[in-house]
Amino acid sequence: MLIFTLRKLNLFLFTMLLLTVLSFSLSFLFPGDQLTNLTGQLNITPSEQTALAKEYSHESNIAWQYAAYLGHILNGELGLSMTNQTNITDEILRLLPATIELSLFAFVIATIIGIPLGFIAAIRHHKPADHVILAFAMIGYSIPVFWLGLLAILTFSIQLGWLPSGGQISLLYEIERTTGFMLVDILLSDSPYKWQALQNNFAHMILPALVIAAAPATVFIRLARTAMLEVLQTSYIKAARAKGLSFSQIILRHAIRNALIKVVQHIGLQFANLVTLAMITEVIFNWPGIGRWLIESIYQRDYTAIQSGLLVLSSFIFLVHIITDYTYAALNPLARGAKYGSR
């Protein structure tokens, strides 16, 4: 496990280095002054410009400029927003927890719905239940997320009035910000209406989370179905049948655990897709997350925010991918010996 950890750490550092190189190169590709694109500072005096150029090694070669940029990132200095001159690090720390909270909630929904349905489809292979679940998966995967979001608002918010159409929590509840995660902050608050606020926050989260979870759930259905079909064809399952175990005993004791190992292997890849869907959904549901902030930055051509937002989101997705790999390695010891590119 130590060698596996060192390999993953090496991969993590190398990938993070590539991400910073990509982010740094964007400052040259965007229109305008490269130093302004890096720092986001506008309307500064000549003396401030000189000090800034020295701070970022602007007069040195490209390697020293990159080293200075890397140093600022390691210190948590991502520059200022070109739109309103706010500190981007503070903005990201304020918005990222909302995106993580929504993405994790959607991920749990996709897992709870997708994996059991995939197992049922495999167990009922070539039977009506299998065809119905596959048809549901195909339809769910084909629906564009923005259309599904608008349809959900029209149906459940406007016509039925069951759920809110946007926002994170009603303005009636004043929750003090402690961690940035609304659910945690509500539980930590001293508000006498804590449980009402919790219900209100859940009500705001259900629709966007279901919209985000639709596509990953359909992918999990197909992954789980394929994994279970492969497991049911293995020799140890045939041996279990020969020993006289009932079908339910074979499924519960042997098939589900081994099929889950195969599904976990692909969960990290699907999380990147889920975060991408969350960015679009945040705009539709006016969710105060980093995805909506990043898309607004693209519209406003806030180059410093675009660079920093892409760097932080990419790092977050890659971190989740590493955690998934660890989980897979913990469940399957054979994976610890896999080399890069071997799977």
H or E, element range at 17: helix 2-29
DSSP for residue 178: S
What are the pLDDT digits (tens) for 214-240? 888 998 999 999 988 998 888 888 888
Residues (pLDDT < 70) of the chain are: 334-343
Q: What values do phi and psi take at 143, rounded to 5?
A: -75, 125
- Give me the CATH topology for the region 95-301: MetI-like fold (1.10.3720)
Do residues 12 and 341 touch, judged by C-beta distance below 8 A? Answer: no
C-alpha 314/C-alpha 175 separation (Å) is 30
How many Å from the N-terminal Cα to the C-terminal Cα in the chain?
18
Could you tell me which residues come within 8 angstroms of residue 249 by beta carbon, excluding any fewer than 6 positions away?
240
User: What pLDDT was estimated at residue 172?
Assistant: 84
3-state DSSP call for residue 258? helix
Per residue in 39-72, pLDDT (tens digit) is: 888 888 888 888 888 888 888 888 898 999 899 8
- Residue 49 corresponds to which amino acid? Q
Domain boundaries, the chain: 1-75, 95-301
Distance between CA atoms of residues 337 and 85, nearest Å: 49
Both structure tokens of 76: 């948590």
CA dist 236 to 125, 225, 243, Å?
A: 19, 19, 10
